[in-house]
Amino acid sequence: MMASKPYTPPARIWRALELADLLDAAGIASTSAETMDSGEWSVLAEAAGARRASLETRALTISLLRRREAVRRQLQLVTMGSRP
C-alpha cells in the first residue's frame, strides 16, 4: 500500500541544516561550534529565522558540520592525489 503523503523530515533536521549552513558560510568549525554558549546559539538561531536551538538541534548541527569537514578532507586527499 502506498503512503498518501511523501516522507517529510522533522523540523529539527531543517533547522539544523540551516544553522550548519550559516556556521559553514561564516567559516566556523565544528570544534568552535562545540564551545558556543547559549547566547551565541540564540543569535545564530535568530539569524536563521528559527526559534531557539534545543540541545538536540545543536548536537545535530555540530554533527552535520563534522560530516562536511570530513568530506572536505577526503576531497582534498583525492584531488591532491590526482595532481601530476
- Say if 55 falls within a structural domain: yes
Q: Give pLDDT, residue 8.
A: 74
Q: In this structure, what C-alpha cell is assigned to residue 9?
A: 523530515
pTM greater than 0.85 (yes/no): no
DSSP 1-69: ---SS-----HHHHHHHHHHHHHHHTT--HHHHHT--HHHHHHHHHHTT--PPPHHHHHHHHHHHHHHH
Instruction: Output the tens digit of pLDDT for each of the chain's 84 residues.
Output: 455 677 777 889 999 999 999 999 999 999 999 999 999 999 999 999 988 899 999 999 999 999 999 999 999 888 877 665
- Say if 33 falls within a structural domain: no
Domain count, the chain: 1
Structural domain harbouring 16: 11-23+39-81
- Say if 1 falls within a structural domain: no
- Say if 43 falls within a structural domain: yes
- Say if 32 falls within a structural domain: no
- Say if 56 falls within a structural domain: yes
Contacts of 63 (CB under 8 A, 6+ apart): none
